[in-house]
Structure 1
């Protein structure tokens, strides 16, 4: 079955700017535009009304470095994120740069350190661990510097990633507390001992989304002020979601929908009106799709699909968890049937997302032949044993490799290492 592609919504445009804005650990269902009832995202919701909103967008991975490795390169992370490094490869930024776009990146997560080769293709690249207000300032400077030329830019905000802090501006979502382990903050990592604690950390997370949404509103105003709103395609997304005990864990460890279902929206100056699409996007599609939108060609042989032109709507979507040595997993989803393969003891789970979006009923014993066909497709796509690939990708390497003591401490403050 062929989908006509995104070209039905907007034309090829090589004369426009392209700006990707991403948030860290933002799950789709925490935004009003995806049905969340709480007031977390007024600016993002208003943006969505003018944008093409993807109902079914997947992260290519459940952690920041592997997810970005995929969105940058159009390839699944087991191919390009080896030994905690993005290997030299063609990237979206590099392709845009080679075709006359000034490229810049502002990334507020030290996981994307230049020492790990994430700066490939960017003319200007800033990465750190700052308050998001600082990331916004750096984004403004990058936009001002790029204003006189056609540009491709990317600004990544750390919100709503841990630590989830109490913020007065978000008190309607997470009110002030004086007692309890998480009255003021969760810190970089946390555990849950009661329903009350779970409710509190979820409230704080929602408050961090509201803060990030406020930052986003300022960024949109900045584009207006700089005269860039009418000639810039703005793409909003996330690197992965977040867990709140839906399947017994918190933060980002597993491969359930709360982890890999992410927001994806495209506001295009030449789009007649906002719309929603059922196109099945996964992070590896960003490179070939944006390249096609700009009238460029992505390299052949990559995993991502060009969703701008007609494509196979029944494609398989993989998502990969590979940086946690104790929990390496791979997902294959097709037609809302989702297989999760766990590598530690080789487990399989099968869910029908159409009737069971919360993944509560495992169908692996009821539909073994379907699970088998999804696994066979996984092997065909990876051209290997999937679990062997994940195990070997970072064998003998640690997240601290290549980084300075200061960068390692920044990773520790975010809960990435203990």
Structure 2
């Protein structure tokens, strides 16, 4: 939601994923999404996602003419509804959001990707969704059971890489398709992810923490007919995507957006810092430090505060919070200052329940 609204969770209102019982957070009414702005500017809008956490009731569908949550395989891209929709709109101005869970747990890509990085594997992890369904457990619970086995963790890494390769093949085909239809030179392309993945770097699996293996994600922006190019190592944020797109298209950026345009990011240091929020915990990443604050008290196996010098300790192994209380205080102040610098009112958070037994079961299967 932060990608679409250019707001931190505190201000767009979606503070966490849907719970196993179907409890969900809803985007605040005044939040203006990128899709809404593009639609108001005369663009046809569509989203193709795969259900799970992106329910339209939460607010993800705001501004989209079409909002599809039906999963489709990526192995035959020419048949994907995303491609068919682009074909139907190639003479128009369009904005399309494509989102896939293909590289998400459970990491079970189809052939020929499944054994791409581990051809001789012989272990407990299933090779397909059909095999998984016969185990009477979820993939996440299976991961927890196997996490102390180094061989199985290596298999999970290999499956994750294979899943990324599966998506990469689809994106490669899509770029070739856009070029063939002469759309590439009039289309802004943004590629990113909302999180990475942990493979025992900090004692766990999945993506439930604030360490860099989870928070640092790729962000690639291709601007048509632009002389601007390059790679930057400086901090940028998901909330910066929407203002960057609008800035390039010369569409007014809403005053309430908390992100910044990145059009000059390859030419100068923007001096950005990156807060992260989930539920009632938060973190701050600067060029030198990572500060983590568990506001609801100590989480399981974690201290209340964590502080790492990521310039000297990039793997975030040495917690300095007890020996540097003044630095903790300063970074906590910087975190709050960044969140509140636009002086936006903190909206009431709306919680509701996604109805339907089948829907709740799909959520449980995804979470677990």
Query: Could you tell me the TM-score, scaled by structure 2's length?
Result: 0.82
Question: Which has more strand, going by share of residues?
Answer: 1
Corresponding residue for 1:28? none
Corresponding residue for 2:66? 124
Aligned counterparts of 2:231 and 2:192: Cα–Cα separation in 1: 15
Contact 2:244 2:262 in 1 (8 A): yes
Aligned counterparts of 1:182 and 1:114: Cα–Cα separation in 2: 33
Aligned counterparts of 1:217 and 1:366: Cα–Cα separation in 2: 48
1:351 equivalent to 2:308? Answer yes
Corresponding residue for 1:60? none
Aligned counterparts of 1:329 and 1:78: Cα–Cα separation in 2: 11
Aligned counterparts of 1:156 and 1:139: Cα–Cα separation in 2: 10
Corresponding residue for 2:283? 331
Shift in Å, 1:273: 7.4
1:86 equivalent to 2:38? Answer no
Moved more, 299-308 or 145-154: 299-308
Shift in Å, 1:271: 3.1
Corresponding residue for 2:105? 162
Q: CA deviation digits over 1:117-169, x for unaligned, max 9?
A: 21111122212344344887011022112211111211112120011126432
Closer/same/farther in 2, CA of residues 123 and 270 from structure 1, 3 Å limit: same
Closer/same/farther in 2, CA of residues 379 and 151 from structure 1, 3 Å limit: same
Shift in Å, 1:309: 5.7
Corresponding residue for 2:4? 72
**What is the SS of the residue equivalent to 1:168?**
coil
Contact 1:167 1:207 in 2 (8 A): no
Corresponding residue for 2:48? 106
Shift in Å, 1:380: 3.0
Shift in Å, 1:339: 0.6
**What is the SS of the residue equivalent to 2:275?**
strand
Corresponding residue for 2:301? none
Shift in Å, 1:176: 5.2
Corresponding residue for 2:20? none
Contact 1:333 1:339 in 2 (8 A): yes
- Unpaired runs of at least 5, structure 2: 15-23, 133-137, 299-303
Aligned counterparts of 2:127 and 2:109: Cα–Cα separation in 1: 5
* Correspondence for 2:197 among 232, 242, 255: 242
Aligned counterparts of 2:337 and 2:220: Cα–Cα separation in 1: 30
Closer/same/farther in 2, CA of residues 149 and 403 from structure 1, 3 Å limit: farther
1:207 equivalent to 2:151? Answer no
The structure with higher relative contact order (CA 8 Å, sep 6+) is: 1
Aligned counterparts of 1:279 and 1:297: Cα–Cα separation in 2: 25
Query: Could you tell me the TM-score, scaled by structure 1's length?
Result: 0.73
Closer/same/farther in 2, CA of residues 188 and 383 from structure 1, 3 Å limit: same
Contact 1:331 1:338 in 2 (8 A): yes
The count of corresponding residues between Structure 1 and Structure 2 is: 333
Aligned counterparts of 1:76 and 1:273: Cα–Cα separation in 2: 28
Closer/same/farther in 2, CA of residues 132 and 162 from structure 1, 3 Å limit: farther
Closer/same/farther in 2, CA of residues 206 and 403 from structure 1, 3 Å limit: farther
Corresponding residue for 1:319? 276
Aligned counterparts of 1:164 and 1:371: Cα–Cα separation in 2: 37
Written as runs of structure 1 = structure 2, the 5 A alignment for 1:111-190 is 111-133=53-75, 137-165=80-108, 167-170=110-113, 171-175=115-119, 177=121, 179-184=122-127, 187-189=138-140, 190=143
Aligned counterparts of 2:337 and 2:60: Cα–Cα separation in 1: 28
Contact 2:185 2:224 in 1 (8 A): yes
